[in-house]
Amino acid sequence: MMEKLYEYILEGLKNSPDFYNPNLHQTFESYLKSLQNAAKYLWKSYRSNTVKVDYSDPQVQAAYLIRYYPHYVQMTWEILRLSPEIFTFPEQINACFFGAGPCPEVAGLSQFLTEHSQQTKSIIVQIYDIASEQWKLSREVTKNFVVPKLWKGDISGVVRKLDLCSPNTFDPITEVISNCHLFIFQNCLNEIWNTSTTQENIKFLLDCAPLNSFIIIGDLLAYDQNRRILEDIAKIDNQRNDYQIIERRELEIPSSLRIPEIVRQNLLTGEDGLIPRYRIRFLFLMIRKGEYSSEDLLDDDIPY
């Protein structure tokens, strides 16, 4: 299933008029060629230390879905499967995804559930992103073409706009937080412009999250800010006695997904700015809320 991820994405783009329009683009190959400028725009934008991208253009979203999304699905999946034995998910999971954009994390979780949590039959997702409305078209691809191929359970939930840099941004969703089993922040730290406020918001989430819930924060190694934020969050965790660090490390993994020839020939051709990614380098922190003794918490100072 996972190995066909590119096929599911391409199927979603081909069957979504907001992306591929046969009357306008003629062939699907021509459509993929038309995404080259958008792919180069994303590549250049992500090479800046302070990332700012306009995701409202459907071509930018399509380029993102093909060029970056598959790796971010794999990233979530790889993090979860490092310690599958600790995730004793119930029949229904309540999960929050922050900075989720088109929701590759939901797809990664879906694949993990198929492999390691057959007792889970449904997920209630809460999707939060500052550009939640802009990403609507891509989320439809995730919902209708990707997740159903990776997992046979039921998914429902809501999408809301949320700015991690705004003070007290979690106040309106306190009840949601208090009923969640899993919280995931992935590939959004490099777009944080107010780190101090973001840290205060995460402290609030740590207070409100229920016992036996998990918080996973993962991001790419390419940005110094990502490391600083994760280090600061780990320090906050070390000052508490109700959280334990389950995993904290850097990973470099090869992409296990084969890029279809139609993408190689028409979009990721290997030219400057259009070079496919073959490896994913990221760091992450996984913590669990519980009631711990001092002995349980002794390994919380493990460095990256």
Q: What string of DSSP letters covers 185-239?
A: EES-GGG-S-HHHHHHHHHHHHHHSPTT-EEEEEEETT-HHHHHHHHHHHHHHHT
pLDDT of residue 21: 94
Predicted pLDDT of residue 295: 57
Report the b/e string of 262-274 with b at 16+ CB within 10 A. ebeebbbbeeeeb
Boundaries of every domain in the chain: 2-84+93-301
pLDDT of residue 91: 96
Selection from 151, 182, 178, 184 nearest residue 89 by Cα: 182
Place of tokens 């979504």: 16
Closest-CA residue to 170 (of 134, 206, 145): 206
pLDDT value, residue 293: 62
| Residue range 2-84+93-301 in CATH 3.30.360.10 | no
- Are 78 and 251 contacting, i.e. CB atoms less than 8 angstroms apart? yes
Structure tokens at 115: 């492999």
Q: Could you list the pLDDT tens digit for every one of the 304 residues in the chain?
A: 789 999 999 999 999 999 999 999 999 999 999 999 999 999 998 887 777 889 999 999 999 999 999 999 999 999 999 989 999 899 999 999 999 999 999 999 999 999 999 999 999 999 999 999 999 999 999 999 999 999 999 999 999 999 999 999 999 999 999 999 999 999 999 888 899 999 999 999 999 999 999 999 999 998 889 999 999 999 998 888 999 999 999 999 998 899 999 999 999 999 988 999 889 999 999 999 997 665 565 454 444 4
Confidence at residue 301, expressed as pLDDT on a 0 to 100 scale: 46
Tell me whether residue 297 is exposed, middle or buried, using C-beta atoms within 10 angstroms of its C-beta: 0 to 12, 13 to 18, 19 or more.
middle
pLDDT value of residue 47: 85
